[in-house]
A and B are shown apart, each in its own frame.
Chain A
Amino acid sequence: MGILLEAKAFHPTRTARNHLRILAAASGVADARVDEVLDIVGLQEVAKKRPGKFSLGMSQRLGIAAALLGQPKYLILDEPANGLDPEGIAWLRQFLKEYADKGNAVFVSSHLLSEMSLMADNVIVIGKGKLIASTSIGDMLAGSKSSNIFVRTEKPSHFENILREQSFVYEKADGGFKVTGVKTDEVGKLAFRAGLPVLELANHAASLEDAFLELTEGSEEYQAHALEGDKK
């Protein structure tokens, strides 16, 4: 099992390579692996530099290199994208996906939900120490109340009657309707059968953040409040 809990967990004046050599020795890993992981995370050029002067992104890479030393079957990373530049984040995403594709399990703990929606296959949501959800990204988004179909037709009042007759859940918005719990096909066919030209039909998938906030509503440990001026 390889773990990255804290990016800056190294002696600032011990070189990156020596830091990894110590970890390798303690775990019975051959020194040759040190150069391999430095190469994987792209730190080979600064292997003999002191990590005290590393940026947060470089420190993250060193931490990931440490986690990879033993070629672990299970990789646990805490906020691995912290401090990484866009290129670094893209590299991390690609690398973790490839690592998982090789039959390994990668656990990533993160608050960067947009990044997680791109990186993860499955999510586990924990609030106040309790398991709130354990599901695939797709199911989590589909189950969100924020997912809806936006439809705008001619004669909107007529189409509203049809929606009501069909017992669809909807709300008026931007000259059209946000319909939840249905697919675009159903709404489109409904308008077609009523002979109403459809002017706009779009699927608005919820973001992982929306879904997360719905799930954790009431489970936040610390809640911020809007400024006085923003409440008006």
Chain B
Amino acid sequence: MIASLKAEFRKLFTVRSTYILSLLMLALTIFFAFYVEGIKANGFDASDPNSLSRDIFLLISNISIFSAIIAVLTLTHEYRYNTIMYTLTASNSRVKTLVAKFLTITVFGVVVAAVIVAVGLAAVKFGLHFGQFKHVTLVSQTLHYGDFVWRTLFYGWSTAIVGLLLATLLRNQVATIAALFLIPTAEQLLSLLLKTHSVYLPFVAQGAILTVPEGRLGTITPGHAALAFGGYLVVGWIVALVLFVRRDAI
């Protein structure tokens, strides 16, 4: 297991795409947090104690897609370049191999989410200081740390892990990235039919993790949303595990 984990981390950090996408993610975080949500923060309500946390939620919901793409590339590159045969023959257990991949992306997803939050918070505050709110006194911002941390980290982790899940199921780079973008879009269309029940669709539920309880999806709390999305993840990973163990390598 340790050997598989070591190999998975090496796979993740020995390809250019990991670094390019991570740098892009960091650059976009700084740009949106500092410039869009800081200096040019037209919609920022100085009297709203939740403004800052809402900005960070918005940031992580848009930026963490990159960690999902990194997760997708990590696995689909193996199928694309046939190195999967080495991966599957090096270990005597495919379950261990998949668990190692899961844990690697878990660590990566959580760390990336933490970095986005930390850098984003600092950049927004910095941006506000230099922008139009320079002379405005903000009301004390409410950050319920426990609540804030689990919601941002769970969202960041779950986005990365859903990328790996789709890659494990589809095993094709283009198809997986397309699915990653098309499924949420399809859910938006389905929402028109399902109305209030649409909050239990996978990606709508995931989005609801970051919406404050009194938001437009007020019928579901962040905890319930996490449970709903977590349920889809559990079922998805059970199917993925069975297929990973039973399917031929190519």
A binds B: yes
Verify B83–A27 contact, CB threshold 8 A.
no
Verify B15–A13 contact, CB threshold 8 A.
yes
Q: Could you tell me the distance between the alpha carbons of A20 and B146 in the complex, rounded to whole angstroms? A: 43
Q: Nearest 6 pairs between A and B by C-beta?
A: A26-B90, A26-B7, A18-B14, A25-B7, A9-B82, A25-B6
- Which residue of the partner chain, among B15, B16, B82, B90, contacts A23 with CB atoms under 8 Å? B90
Q: Could you tell me the distance between the alpha carbons of A21 and B83 in the complex, rounded to whole angstroms? A: 13
* Chain A residue at minimum C-beta to C-beta distance from B16: A13
How many residues belonging to B are interface residues under a CB distance threshold of 8 Å?
A: 19
Verify B86–A6 contact, CB threshold 8 A.
no
Chain A nearest CB from B198 CB (Å) reads 40
Chain A CB within 10 A, most for which of B3, B4, B81: B81
Contact residues of B: prevailing secondary structure: helix
* Chain A residue at minimum C-beta to C-beta distance from B10: A22
* Chain A residue at minimum C-beta to C-beta distance from B78: A11
> 1/0 per position for B213-228, CB-CB distance to A under 8 A?
0000000000000000
Interface residues, chain B, CB within 8 Å of chain A?
A: 3-4, 6-7, 10-11, 14-16, 77, 81-83, 85-87, 89-91
Verify A10–B81 contact, CB threshold 8 A.
yes
Verify B3–A11 contact, CB threshold 8 A.
no
Verify A26–B4 contact, CB threshold 8 A.
yes
Verify B3–A23 contact, CB threshold 8 A.
no
Verify A25–B3 contact, CB threshold 8 A.
yes
Verify B89–A22 contact, CB threshold 8 A.
no
- Which residue of the partner chain, among B14, B16, B81, contacts A9 with CB atoms under 8 Å? B81
- Does A12 interact with chain B (Cβ within 8 Å)? yes
